[in-house]
Amino acid sequence: MSMLNGEQLYNWLLKQEAEGDDDRRFYSSYLLGHVSLAIAETEEAPSQFKNQLYHCVEEALGIDKLSEADIIGIRELLKQGADQASNQLSPA
């Protein structure tokens, strides 16, 4: 099991925010705050980053007034970003 790299995920989301369509920009912006918070909260234990991030996002999705399409889009973008960040173990 590979560890999710918070900094790489954050940078990948910034790129998606800059280059994506309106929906992708919204999803990226939504996730960037959660990624920043999870990075800060797991600074002493980076191996907990993924669990903390997913917990925070799912908790927020349950509270925030988002459409079902937005919730699905956010989850899909998070999965794509997590896959990318997990696979980038060293700089290219």
pLDDT band at 90 (very low <50, low <70, confident <90, very high): very low
70 near 27, Cβ under 8 Å? yes
Domain-embedded: residue 1: no
Asked whether residue 74 is domain-assigned, the answer is yes
Domain boundaries, position 50:
6-87
Q: For 26-59, give the DSSP string.
A: HHHHHHHHHHHHHHHHTTT-GGGHHHHHHHHHHH
pLDDT given at position 5: 87
Judge whether 92 lies within some domain: no
Q: Range with the lowest mean pLDDT among 3-7, 21-25, 43-47, 63-67?
A: 3-7
Q: Is the pLDDT of residue 88 over 70?
A: no
Question: Could you report the per-residue pLDDT of 11-50, keeping only the tens digit for each?
Answer: 999 999 999 899 999 999 999 999 999 999 998 988 899 9
Answer whether 86's CB lies under 8 Å from 75's CB: no
| Pair of tokens at residue 26 | 């919204």
Q: Please state the domain count of the chain.
A: 1
